Structure 1
Amino acid sequence: MKSSNVTRYVLIAIIAVAGFVAVPFFPMVSSAIAFAAGAVICGIALLFVKTTNSTEESVETNDLTTLYIGNLNYKVNENAIKAYFEQYGYVDSVRLMKDRKTGRRKGFGFVEVEADAADKMITKLNDSVFEERTLRVRLAKEKVED
């Protein structure tokens, strides 16, 4: 009996000092059970928020591949390219190259896509006609730094 009272007073002291307590739960524990366990601890209503690890988010960005797209119509914009490529998988970003002096498009660019869909996009979109031009779609080469 004395042990549970000590635990209760320690928990109340932590809440009073910190203002909150973070209690990690594993995915197999339902939120109803977690809330019930929290309610039993001190009768204090607790808010449970789902969080993600930063490593989970970084895994998603590591699964991207960059494709080179060439022979683009100079009037094409990033949104049109993204919509065209998304027929075959997730597109993270589109970069169309411009001349530094004039600001006009150069007719090529790069598309960051989901690695699993890259081969399918190359197969389906290489030599396809888009905006009256035959596209060249390939895996982008690594940028060589001097």
Structure 2
Amino acid sequence: MKLSNQTLLPVLAIAIVGGILFTAILTFSSGIAFALGVLCTAFVLPRISSFQPSSTTQDDTTQASKTLYVGNLPYRANENEVKQLFSEHGEVFAVRLMKDKRTGKRRGFGFVVMNSKDADNAIDNLNNKEYGQRTLKVREANEPKTEDSSEM
């Protein structure tokens, strides 16, 4: 079992406290008491490892997300404008607008990765909405097709 810095301190603390308790209660030498404290920690730690404190910054970045397809975008729209538009309806993680490989010009569609809680709200509010003199098409993106699924 690999120990992180957050786990190492509680392990040492439990071992030291165990050593002190074994020394006081059972009158062992401090070396033997420390070793018994370490052994007790080895048995207790796996049972309490599920109770590690969670970090709010890690939880915020690992939120569930949904990818939305956005079609019929104006060709002059850029990622920042689309992100701003979708941010009015929830938390946006990423925007990717598709470009033609040869010319580098935008193709009029893209994908927006949003917090899954906010994605349905964005679909409801932005699908068939007028944006840049075009009517947006917004829906949840399909999973990429694999060779096996295209043969069916």
| TM score, norm. by length of structure 1 | 0.62
For 2:57 and 2:81, locate their aligned partners in 1 and report how far apart those are by CA, in whole Å: 32
Determine the structure 1 residue equivalent to 2:120. Answer: 119
Determine the structure 2 residue equivalent to 1:73. Answer: 74
Count of residue pairs the alignment pairs up: 109
For 2:120 and 2:60, locate their aligned partners in 1 and report how far apart those are by CA, in whole Å: 23
Instruction: Give the aligned residue type for 1:130.
Output: Y
Pair 1:99–1:26, CA change in 2 (3 A): closer
Instruction: Give the aligned residue type for 2:87.
Output: E
Pair 1:58–1:76, CA change in 2 (3 A): closer
Instruction: Report the structure, 1 or 2, having the larger helix content.
Output: 2
- Does residue 129 (structure 1) correspond to residue 149 (structure 2)? The answer is no
Alignment of 1:67-106 (within 5 A): 67-106=68-107
For 1:79 and 1:91, locate their aligned partners in 2 and report how far apart those are by CA, in whole Å: 11
Instruction: Give the aligned residue type for 1:89.
Output: G
For 1:94 and 1:142, locate their aligned partners in 2 and report how far apart those are by CA, in whole Å: 17
For 2:57 and 2:125, locate their aligned partners in 1 and report how far apart those are by CA, in whole Å: 34
Determine the structure 2 residue equivalent to 1:138. Answer: 139
Instruction: Give the aligned residue type for 1:116.
Output: K
- Does residue 3 (structure 1) correspond to residue 57 (structure 2)? The answer is no
Deviation at 1:137, TM superposition (A): 0.4
Runs of at least 4 residues off by over 6 Å: none
Instruction: Give the aligned residue type for 2:131.
Output: F
| Unmatched segments (≥5 aa) in structure 1 | 11-23, 28-50
Pair 1:53–1:83, CA change in 2 (3 A): closer
For 1:122 and 1:75, locate their aligned partners in 2 and report how far apart those are by CA, in whole Å: 22
Determine the structure 2 residue equivalent to 1:41. Answer: none
Pair 1:89–1:54, CA change in 2 (3 A): closer
For 1:53 and 1:83, locate their aligned partners in 2 and report how far apart those are by CA, in whole Å: 25
